Amino acid sequence: MNWGKLAHTIRAHPGRMLIIALAILVPPAIATTHVRVTFNQLAELPKSADSVRGYDALSGHFRAGEVAPVILVLSRDGSMWNDESFRAINDLTVALGKVPGVDLVRSITQPTGGVFTEEQLKQAGVGDLLKFPDRLQEGADGVGRIIGGLEQIHSGLEQMEQRLPALADGLSEGADGVAKMRDGIAQMRGGIAQMRAGLKEAADGLAAPCSGSACKESLPSTPSGCPVTNPSTLSGSAKNAELCLKSALDEMHVLVQRPAFDPIYTNVYEDVARAYGNLTGIDDTTNAPPAGDARAKKYADEGGMAGELKTIASGLRRAVDGLNRIEDALSQIDGGLRRLGPGLQDGATGVRTAVAGITRILDGLDQILPGLQRLRAGLAEGAARVRQAGFGDVASAGNLGLTPGLVDAVPGLRKQLGFFMTGDERTTRIFVTLTREPYASESLAAVGGIRAAGALALNKTPLEGTPIRAAGAASFFSDVRTLSDADFRTIMLVVLIGIFVVLALLLRSIVAPVYLILTVLLSFLATLGLTSVVFQGLFGQNGIAWWLPSFLFVMLVALGADYNIFLMSRIREEARVHTTADATARGLALTGHVITSAGIILAGTFAALMAAPLKSLQQFGFAVTVGILMDTFIVRSLLVPSIATLLGRHNWWPSRRAHAP
């Protein structure tokens, strides 16, 4: 390059050259507004790297934030295994779930991943937990109704226990009465048997009376020979007649009152009446009808005494049949009583057994009822405590949170929850899953929101003042970004002040150091913008490495300031004998090849980094190379000489040279 010709052009047209230089530098500098800083260290590695392939496999099947969640650690001196601390942890869990960029929060109160809606709980089969306190109270009320029913049963059984012994005694007495009735029936049947035998014998005797001459010979014909007077001397039909008369006194009484005149037995009325009187003490002989009475004739026509005796015999046989039927009836009654007696005795035994069973039931109820009373009281107290612990409010809001009581009620659950709380119960951790990768800008912003929400959620709780320490990749990168931003501002301030002081002392001016620093900043911004355009726009990368701006600034400012010092010191020397415009042209022509050669060599050295496998080194190599070349050929060759020429002697203000022509 002909540096003399370029110097002459700048000397002749400084404004035009200034515009050309700015037209080259300003557009890429404006592109810095679209620069994205990335903390994705994996993106620097090639796709074939094993760690990259493993991460891609994880992110392809799980939430992006689950690969590296944010872990919050809460630690205090006292135990956190109490309702108040659990409630505070649950409030913190709910608050963290509302932070933008947070996908899921898991803690000891919400180990499954946090906040559920009522519909989700129903689908999961635990919808009843939404009304857990109400269910406890309903259980207590149900037990109370059971107790009321059992108390009624107890009262009824007590009454039965008091009354059934009397029933058993009555049944026993009934069985004894049945036995006595059977004895009476047996006696009645014996008497009937005797009556039946007597009646049968009387009927047989009366059915075959004496007749004709045989009867005349056998019975005396005179009153003195009446067989009734001496019954022991009677025999045959007379003996049978007497026995028959003894068995049927009523019928014989009617008989003797009838006309007794028989052609065969003329004195039979008197004899029979006299015999009846001997048997009954009634003298009825005076009632004998007169001879020739019409009734006597009718009596003889009807068969006389023989007919009457047959009639009496027929009646006696009917009496025997009646007695047989009575005996059959008594036999049936006896059979029924024979079955009834054991049944009554068995009933009495069964009733006594029932009484013993009722007594045992009452003893059991006396043991059950106090237990049910305690159960009802326990359920009611449990419902009150659950409501007091805030579980009902949490559940009704869909924020299902465990409590120490619920954890201890499930065997083995406390041991499993040791994943969230240490054994000494003083330290717990909360896992926060983000919606994006841990190195994404949204995740880094979420970390700040998590810290702020955590401190706010613990206010006015037993855990107020407990430090919340965040760990994990996102927390690490968030701190890196915070520190790098702060460091970058500090580095810029220190470097620029240092360079300004050096330039001011070297050039004995304030104006020249100011625009020299501004040109260096413009060179840095243009380089950074061009780097983002190439790698973000052309290569489609997520952004430039987070550490690149700081390193690039230090590198370009140091090199740019070095080249500017070399150029401006030469111009100042030439300005001793020449005007500032001429001194600028001579200084550019004399130092151009030296500075350009040094810049090309340095740029070539850093360009070798673009062949590195790490993308961040490729970006850094490109940025430094472009920055050095831009500073060498644009800033130092066009921009600075144009400004120096336009300012003229004002470059050296406030030194005395600023007043020279």
pLDDT tens readout for residues 147-186: 777 778 778 777 777 777 877 677 777 777 777 777 777 7
The pLDDT assigned to 522 comes to: 92
106: helix, coil or strand?
strand
Mean pLDDT is lowest, of 27-36, 233-242, 382-391, for 233-242
pLDDT tens readout for residues 593-604: 888 888 889 888
* Chain centroid offset of residue 461 CA: 28
Residue 230 binned pLDDT confidence (cut-offs 50, 70, 90): very low
Any idea what DSSP says for residue 635?
Answer: I
Which amino acid appears at position 492 of this protein?
A: M
Q: Measure the CA–CA gap between 139 and 413, rounded to whole angstroms.
A: 24
Residue 214 binned pLDDT confidence (cut-offs 50, 70, 90): very low
Query: Quick check: 56 pLDDT over 50?
Result: yes
The pLDDT assigned to 525 comes to: 93
Region 262-268: what's the mean pLDDT? 44
CA distances from 418 to 71, 89, 115, 289, 427 (A): 15, 15, 21, 134, 10
* The CATH number, out of the four listed (1.20.1640.10, 3.50.50.60, 1.20.1250.20, 3.40.1410.10), of the domain defined by the range 3-33+479-659: 1.20.1640.10
What are the residue boundaries of the structural domains of the chain, listed by start?
3-33+479-659, 188-334
Q: Measure the CA–CA gap between 386 and 9, rounded to whole angstroms.
A: 89
The pLDDT assigned to 129 comes to: 52
Taking alpha carbons only, the member of 197, 199, 307 closest to residue 246 is 199
Q: Is 36 left (phi over 0), alpha (psi -120 to 50) or beta?
A: beta
Q: Measure the CA–CA gap between 319 and 252, rounded to whole angstroms.
A: 15
Q: What is the pTM of this model?
A: 0.56
pLDDT tens readout for residues 310-321: 666 676 667 667
Structure tokens that stand for 430 in this block: 């909360």
Query: Quick check: 641 pLDDT over 60?
Result: yes
Between 578 and 607, residue with greater pLDDT:
607
Biggest CA-to-CA distance, the chain: 219
Cis peptide before 404 (omega within 30 of 0): no
Looking from the CA of 151 toward its CB, the CA atoms found within 13 Å total: 10
Region 301-328: what's the mean pLDDT? 65
Region 56-70: what's the mean pLDDT? 79
Q: Return all residues near 613 (Cβ < 8 A) that are at least 6 apart.
A: 45, 46
Residues in the chain: 661
Q: Measure the CA–CA gap between 105 and 393, rounded to whole angstroms.
A: 19
Q: For 469, list phi and psi in degrees, rounded to 5.
A: -105, 130
The pLDDT assigned to 387 comes to: 61
Query: Quick check: 227 pLDDT over 50?
Result: no
Top mean-pLDDT range of 384-393, 488-497, 649-658: 488-497
Residue 564 binned pLDDT confidence (cut-offs 50, 70, 90): confident
By the 8 A CB rule, do 620 and 38 touch? no
The string of DSSP codes covering 110-139 is STTSS---HHHHHHTT-GGGGGHHHHHHHH
Mean pLDDT is lowest, of 177-191, 395-409, 642-656, for 395-409
Q: Burial code of 324-356, b = ≥16 C-beta within 10 A, e = fewer?
A: eeebeebeeebeebeebbeebbebbeebbeebe
Query: Quick check: 266 pLDDT over 80?
Result: no
The residues that bridge with 70 in the sheet, in sequence order, are 432
